[in-house]
Structure 1
Amino acid sequence: MTDRAPWEKEPPPPTPVQQAEARAERAETRAEKLADKAEAAAIRRRWITLGEVLAVLAVAISGLTLWNSWSERTHSEAEKSAADAKASAKSMRLVLKAELAKDKASLTLAPADMTQTIQSQTIFFPTKLDVSPVETTGDARIEAGWFASAAKKGDPPHDRNLKVPIAITTRFVNGDGALGQLSALYHLGYRVEGRLFGSSVELTGLSLIGSVVEKDAQKRIDALTK
């Protein structure tokens, strides 16, 4: 037992009420501490969740940016490819124009597109005319003399305007130096003038029927003459 001064008195023991209040105060303090810890944990969780959301948004935005860039690049490349293909297809087209000679004995052929140059041609006639295909090189033309005998054969001399289907395969060079080849069907117009001592044949013009594959050209013009 500790020695005390005469004037010091030993404090009385706490009453049951005081003990209960002290326990309640300690319990309240513990509860407050737990609540503070829970709130702090909740705040941390909220910050973690917000950070995760921001990270996901950043990844999503980055992904959208990359996709948009890829999409624009792909679209641009597709447009360029389409434009190139269109230009290439256009350059492979050939439209012939025919100029009738003053004596009407021949037609001079040339591309409507002045950037194109004809290299050579093969002209096919119907089989019933018994005229072999004619090859020209550099001098694109059709001459009445190639089929005049066959055109005058069989009919008595008299004037008549006629036409015969022919096929022309043209090998040409484009303005960019690319080689092209195109086959097409045409109607060749001509006039037979009957004379006492024989008939004469004059050409009148050329009109396009449509395109054709070269290997089918002879068959197609033969079908048109039946």
Structure 2
Amino acid sequence: MSEQPARKRRLPLRWLSLAEFVGIVAVAIAALGYWDSHRERTQTDRERAAAEQEKRAEARAGVLKLSFLMTGTPESGGGRLRLATVHPEQVIQTQALSFPSDVRGDAVQTTGNPRIEAGWFEGGLDKALHTHGSKARQGRLPVGIVTVFIEDGQTKTDRALYLVGYSLHPRVLRSDRVELEGLSLLRRGVGEDVQGAVDARWASQAPAPARP
């Protein structure tokens, strides 16, 4: 008589005790709490990073707004540079323009009409270049500009050193005609001695005077 195959033994069914059930629930609650806390912390970090980025952008915008910068647009065939601020909310009131001393001895004062005219220094530039023996037909003339302007209802002053690009064109029985080409910022934050800063720059770029 053949033996019947042994039946598989079933594992005894064991109910969780109350203490074990409570422990499992506690672990689940702790895991959910950790996940929720992590999600909240991540969201807070993102919001803080976005706020800091916005503050940095506002700070950069503020710095740019406070920076005074001018551009020069040629007019009248290069006989004049029309000056204008990069930021339209900055309104120019007056300007004092200082040229190298051996080009022009006194500063030019303007009121409400910001500009640089070639006629202000044309003859002096021709003499200065002749004295230095320069035959260059193009160059950059340093100009110190003290500008009083209005921004946000406040009167402010900017002292800066600019370079005026020019070219020379010969004329019969007269000094060369100066054609103004543009304006570029060389240095801002110039001290009270604007004329000294202009002369120092001119001396550093001009050739030595020609020997007699």
Superposition pairs for residues 1-226 of structure 1, below 5 Å?
43-91=17-65, 92=67, 94-101=69-76, 104=79, 106-111=80-85, 116-129=90-103, 131-153=105-127, 155=130, 161-167=137-143, 168-172=145-149, 181=158, 183-191=160-168, 193=170, 195-196=172-173, 198-199=174-175, 201-208=177-184, 210-215=186-191, 217-218=197-198, 219-226=200-207
**Structure 1 stretch 89-98 or stretch 133-142: which is displaced more?**
89-98
Q: For the residues of structure 1 that align with 2:183 and 2:113, how far apart are their CA atoms?
A: 20
> Which residue of structure 1 aligns with residue 6 of structure 2?
none
Q: For the residues of structure 1 that align with 2:170 and 2:116, how far apart are their CA atoms?
A: 19
Paired-residue identity, %: 19
Judged with a 3 Å threshold, the aligned counterparts in structure 2 of structure 1 residues 221 and 43 are, in CA distance, closer, same or farther, namely farther
What is the TM-score when the length of structure 1 is the normalising length? 0.58
Judged with a 3 Å threshold, the aligned counterparts in structure 2 of structure 1 residues 102 and 194 are, in CA distance, closer, same or farther, namely closer
- Output one character per residue of 1:155-203: Cα deviation in whole Å (capped at 9) or x when no partner: 49xx9834342234545556x768684735313415364554x536433
- How many residue pairs get aligned? The number is 182
* Cα deviation, residue 56, structure 1: 2.4
Aligned 8 A contact 1:123 1:166 in 2: no
Which 4+ stretches in 1 moved above 6 angstroms?
Answer: 176-180
Residue 99 of structure 2 aligns with an amino acid whose one-letter code is F
* Cα deviation, residue 141, structure 1: 0.9
RMSD: 3.9
* Cα deviation, residue 67, structure 1: 1.2
**Structure 1 stretch 76-85 or stretch 200-209: which is displaced more?**
200-209
More strand by share: 2
Aligned 8 A contact 1:144 1:203 in 2: yes
Judged with a 3 Å threshold, the aligned counterparts in structure 2 of structure 1 residues 200 and 143 are, in CA distance, closer, same or farther, namely same
Aligned 8 A contact 1:192 1:200 in 2: yes
What is the TM-score when the length of structure 2 is the normalising length? 0.61
Instruction: Could you tell me which runs of 5 or more consecutive residues in structure 2 were left unpaired when the two chains were aligned.
Output: 1-13, 208-212
Judged with a 3 Å threshold, the aligned counterparts in structure 2 of structure 1 residues 82 and 45 are, in CA distance, closer, same or farther, namely same
> Which residue of structure 2 aligns with residue 25 of structure 1?
none
Instruction: Determine which structure has more spread, i.e. the larger CA radius of gyration.
Output: 1
Instruction: Could you tell me which runs of 5 or more consecutive residues in structure 1 were left unpaired when the two chains were aligned.
Output: 1-38
* Cα deviation, residue 80, structure 1: 1.8
Aligned 8 A contact 1:123 1:169 in 2: yes
* Cα deviation, residue 54, structure 1: 2.8
Q: For the residues of structure 2 that align with 1:103 and 1:95, how far apart are their CA atoms?
A: 17
* Cα deviation, residue 209, structure 1: 5.8
Greater RCO (CA < 8 Å, at least 6 residues apart): 2
More helix by share: 1
